[in-house]
């Protein structure tokens, strides 16, 4: 499936250096997501439910899933960037939509199982996060405060599925479901523990503590804090362009091998890695890459 983009429809993204113009798909395509192409090989997925601060209700998440899956299947796309609007990345799951659910309804519908969409994509995904997001619950009241692309709760769980996370200095991250009488249900307890360890995950999940970008970087929760004037979205796009410039068969194999490390023992993981490595010798890109290196020229990938 090839993604189509209308040359007559555009979206402006404001950066520290001015306004950037990206060609986008027809606005009628998605109600809650904007898809743009800042580079022919990069798909930028922007969450766009501003009236609800990008809270992730069923309709919003369906749009996110569709946009990501289509980009994943698009032969011209080599990598994806997911980010939020100018006011919010995602304020987590929509509390109004789920506050009256019963156990039977949640259990029988396997509620939140579809949140694994990013983790199941074959092409790399880079999440761009900045600003402040705070989901706070107090008796009789839930107040949500969010600005530019920050994420907590369900929004953090969505971004944790990305392969690379970049954060601006203003980013704040946390799992605040404990303040609502529940726990993370979209992978927060599992992915956080694998990234930052048991004790730190316990602190975030059981207290609702929010950490800033610097601490997230020290803990290994984000790849790095982006301090450049151009901003975190531009940085994420640059990383995506770099990834997309490589041979895509090898990129897909590399992502598969790294993800397997979280599921397999060391012995099994090493065996799996070697098998993938061996299999790449059957590709045209391996022959081209090694020949180009020997001839001291830039490789011309055919992604085959």
- 128 included as an active-site residue: no
User: Given 92, 150, 155, 157, which residue is catalytic?
Assistant: 157
Q: Which two tokens stand for residue 230?
A: 């151009």
In DSSP terms, 173 is beta-bridged to 151, 211
Residue 163: C-alpha distances to residues 32, 79, 302 (Å): 23, 10, 24
- 93 included as an active-site residue: yes
- Buried b or exposed e, range 161-196, using 16+ CB within 10 angstroms: bbbbbbbbebbbbbbbbbebeeebbbbbbebbbebb
Overall size of the chain counted in residues: 304
Distance CA 153, CA 156 (A): 5
User: Given 71, 93, 133, 253, which residue is catalytic?
Assistant: 93
User: Given 78, 84, 154, 231, which residue is catalytic?
Assistant: 154
Contact 149, 226 (CB under 8 A): no
Residue positions annotated with a catalytic role: 93, 154, 157, 177
């Amino acid at each position: 499936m090839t993604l189509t983009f209308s040359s007559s429809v555009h979206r402006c993204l404001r950066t520290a250096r001015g306004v950037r113009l990206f060609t986008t798909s027809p606005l009628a395509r998605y109600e809650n997501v904007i898809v743009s192409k800042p580079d022919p090989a990069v798909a930028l997925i922007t969450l766009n439910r501003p009236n609800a601060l990008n809270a992730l209700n069923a309709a919003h998440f369906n749009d996110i899933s569709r946009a990501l899956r289509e980009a994943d299947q698009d032969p011209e796309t080599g990598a994806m960037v997911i980010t939020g609007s100018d006011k919010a990345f995602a304020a987590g799951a929509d509390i109004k939509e789920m506050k009256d659910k019963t156990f039977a309804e949640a259990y029988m519908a396997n509620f939140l199982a579809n949140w694994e969409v990013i983790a199941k994509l074959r092409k790399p995904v880079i999440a761009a996060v900045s600003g402040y997001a705070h989901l706070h619950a107090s008796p009789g009241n839930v107040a949500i405060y969010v600005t530019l692309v920050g994420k907590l709760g369900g929004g953090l769980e969505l971004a944790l599925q990305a392969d690379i996370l970049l954060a601006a200095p203003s980013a704040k991250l946390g799992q605040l479901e404990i303040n609502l009488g529940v726990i993370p249900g979209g992978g927060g307890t599992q992915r956080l523990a694998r990234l930052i360890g048991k004790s730190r995950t316990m602190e975030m999940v059981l207290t609702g503590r929010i950490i800033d970008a610097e601490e997230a970087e020290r803990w290994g929760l984000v790849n790095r804090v982006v301090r450049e004037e151009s901003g975190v979205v531009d940085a994420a796009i640059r990383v995506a362009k770099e990834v997309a410039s490589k041979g895509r068969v090898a990129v897909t194999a590399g992502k598969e091998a790294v993800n397997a490390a979280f599921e397999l023992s060391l012995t099994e993981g090493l065996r799996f890695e070697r098998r993938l490595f061996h299999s790449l010798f059957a590709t045209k890109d391996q022959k081209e890459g090694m020949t180009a290196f020997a001839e001291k020229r830039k490789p011309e990938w055919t992604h085959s």
